[in-house]
Protein backbone atom coordinates (compact mmCIF):
# COMPACT_ATOMS: atom_id res chain seq x y z
CA UNK A 1 0.00 0.00 0.00
CA UNK A 2 1.18 3.53 -0.62
CA UNK A 3 0.45 6.78 1.18
CA UNK A 4 1.21 10.13 -0.47
CA UNK A 5 2.94 12.32 2.11
CA UNK A 6 2.59 15.66 0.30
CA UNK A 7 2.04 18.33 2.96
CA UNK A 8 1.70 15.71 5.73
CA UNK A 9 3.28 15.71 9.14
CA UNK A 10 5.27 12.60 10.06
CA UNK A 11 6.21 12.11 13.70
CA UNK A 12 8.86 9.60 14.68
CA UNK A 13 8.88 8.88 18.40
CA UNK A 14 11.66 7.06 20.24
CA UNK A 15 13.45 8.66 23.19
CA UNK A 16 12.39 12.00 21.65
CA UNK A 17 9.67 13.02 19.22
CA UNK A 18 10.82 14.23 15.81
CA UNK A 19 8.20 16.09 13.79
CA UNK A 20 8.91 16.05 10.06
CA UNK A 21 6.97 18.46 7.86
CA UNK A 22 6.99 16.76 4.47
CA UNK A 23 7.07 18.72 1.22
CA UNK A 24 6.64 15.61 -0.93
CA UNK A 25 7.24 11.91 -0.65
CA UNK A 26 5.57 8.62 0.13
CA UNK A 27 5.33 5.91 2.70
CA UNK A 28 4.86 2.37 1.44
CA UNK A 29 4.04 -0.68 3.48
CA UNK A 30 3.50 -4.33 2.69
CA UNK A 31 1.26 -6.59 4.71
CA UNK A 32 1.82 -10.31 4.21
CA UNK A 33 -0.08 -13.39 5.30
CA UNK A 34 1.13 -16.94 5.44
CA UNK A 35 -1.27 -19.80 4.70
CA UNK A 36 -0.87 -23.43 5.68
CA UNK A 37 -2.67 -26.04 3.65
CA UNK A 38 -3.91 -29.09 5.54
CA UNK A 39 -4.20 -32.47 3.84
CA UNK A 40 -5.89 -35.65 4.96
CA UNK A 41 -5.22 -38.93 3.18
CA UNK A 42 -3.60 -37.03 0.29
CA UNK A 43 -6.60 -34.76 -0.32
CA UNK A 44 -6.91 -31.08 0.50
CA UNK A 45 -8.70 -30.84 3.82
CA UNK A 46 -8.50 -27.20 4.79
CA UNK A 47 -6.47 -24.06 5.02
CA UNK A 48 -5.54 -21.93 7.99
CA UNK A 49 -3.54 -18.82 8.59
CA UNK A 50 0.07 -19.47 9.52
CA UNK A 51 2.51 -17.42 11.56
CA UNK A 52 2.26 -13.62 11.61
CA UNK A 53 4.67 -11.80 9.31
CA UNK A 54 5.97 -8.33 10.23
CA UNK A 55 4.98 -5.44 8.00
CA UNK A 56 7.66 -3.98 5.70
CA UNK A 57 7.81 -0.16 5.69
CA UNK A 58 9.60 2.32 3.42
CA UNK A 59 9.59 6.09 3.94
CA UNK A 60 11.06 8.44 1.32
CA UNK A 61 10.56 12.18 1.40
CA UNK A 62 11.79 15.67 0.79
CA UNK A 63 11.10 17.63 3.95
CA UNK A 64 10.58 21.27 4.85
CA UNK A 65 11.57 21.01 8.51
CA UNK A 66 12.47 18.53 11.21
CA UNK A 67 11.74 19.74 14.71
CA UNK A 68 12.59 18.11 18.02
CA UNK A 69 13.35 19.03 21.58
CA UNK A 70 17.02 18.27 20.93
CA UNK A 71 19.48 18.68 18.09
CA UNK A 72 19.31 16.23 15.20
CA UNK A 73 22.75 15.32 13.92
CA UNK A 74 22.25 12.10 11.97
CA UNK A 75 19.47 10.17 10.27
CA UNK A 76 20.16 7.42 12.80
CA UNK A 77 19.09 9.84 15.58
CA UNK A 78 15.60 9.96 14.10
CA UNK A 79 14.87 6.28 13.43
CA UNK A 80 16.10 3.91 16.11
CA UNK A 81 14.97 0.42 17.03
CA UNK A 82 11.43 0.36 18.37
CA UNK A 83 10.43 3.81 17.03
CA UNK A 84 6.81 4.64 16.36
CA UNK A 85 6.00 6.34 13.04
CA UNK A 86 2.80 8.41 12.91
CA UNK A 87 1.47 10.11 9.77
CA UNK A 88 -1.26 12.75 10.00
CA UNK A 89 -3.03 13.34 6.71
CA UNK A 90 -5.78 15.95 6.30
CA UNK A 91 -8.39 14.24 4.14
CA UNK A 92 -10.44 16.09 1.55
CA UNK A 93 -13.56 15.62 3.68
CA UNK A 94 -12.14 17.88 6.39
CA UNK A 95 -11.17 15.06 8.72
CA UNK A 96 -7.68 14.01 9.81
CA UNK A 97 -6.59 10.45 9.07
CA UNK A 98 -3.80 9.16 11.32
CA UNK A 99 -1.68 6.15 10.39
CA UNK A 100 0.44 4.63 13.16
CA UNK A 101 3.26 2.16 12.49
CA UNK A 102 4.42 0.78 15.88
CA UNK A 103 7.77 -0.75 16.82
CA UNK A 104 9.69 0.20 13.67
CA UNK A 105 13.10 -1.43 13.23
CA UNK A 106 15.18 0.27 10.49
CA UNK A 107 17.34 -1.87 8.22
CA UNK A 108 18.48 0.88 5.85
CA UNK A 109 18.70 4.63 6.45
CA UNK A 110 19.79 7.33 4.06
CA UNK A 111 19.48 11.06 4.22
CA UNK A 112 20.97 14.33 3.12
CA UNK A 113 19.94 17.15 5.39
CA UNK A 114 21.60 19.66 3.08
CA UNK A 115 19.27 18.49 0.30
CA UNK A 116 16.37 18.02 2.77
CA UNK A 117 15.90 14.35 1.88
CA UNK A 118 15.25 11.31 4.02
CA UNK A 119 14.86 7.63 3.12
CA UNK A 120 14.31 4.84 5.64
CA UNK A 121 13.39 1.17 5.20
CA UNK A 122 12.69 -1.53 7.75
CA UNK A 123 10.03 -3.64 9.41
CA UNK A 124 7.38 -3.00 12.03
CA UNK A 125 6.68 -5.47 14.77
CA UNK A 126 3.04 -5.47 13.67
CA UNK A 127 1.04 -6.99 10.83
CA UNK A 128 -0.80 -3.78 9.88
CA UNK A 129 -0.89 -0.09 10.78
CA UNK A 130 -3.47 1.41 13.10
CA UNK A 131 -5.69 3.87 11.19
CA UNK A 132 -7.90 6.40 12.97
CA UNK A 133 -10.16 9.13 11.57
CA UNK A 134 -10.97 12.21 13.63
Q: pLDDT, tens digit, for every residue of 88-112?
A: 987 767 888 999 999 999 999 998 8
| pLDDT value at 71 more than 70 | no
Closest CA to 131 of 105, 94, 102, 104: 102
7 neighbors 22 (Cβ within 8 angstroms): yes
| Tally of structural domains, the chain | 1
Q: Distance between CA 15 and CA 68 in Å, rounded?
A: 11
Residue 94: domain span = 2-133
pLDDT at 130: 96
CATH value at residue 115: 2.40.30
Closest CA to 56 of 25, 26, 83, 29: 29
- In this structure, the number of other CB atoms found within 10 A of the CB of residue 55 comes to 22
Strands 35-40 and 55-67: unpaired
Q: What is the pTM of this model?
A: 0.85
Mean pLDDT, range 5-16, rounded to an integer: 90
Amino acid sequence: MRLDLKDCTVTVTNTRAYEIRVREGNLKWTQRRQWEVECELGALYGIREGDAIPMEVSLQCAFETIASAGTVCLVSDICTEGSRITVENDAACGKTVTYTFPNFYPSQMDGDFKESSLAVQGICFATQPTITIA
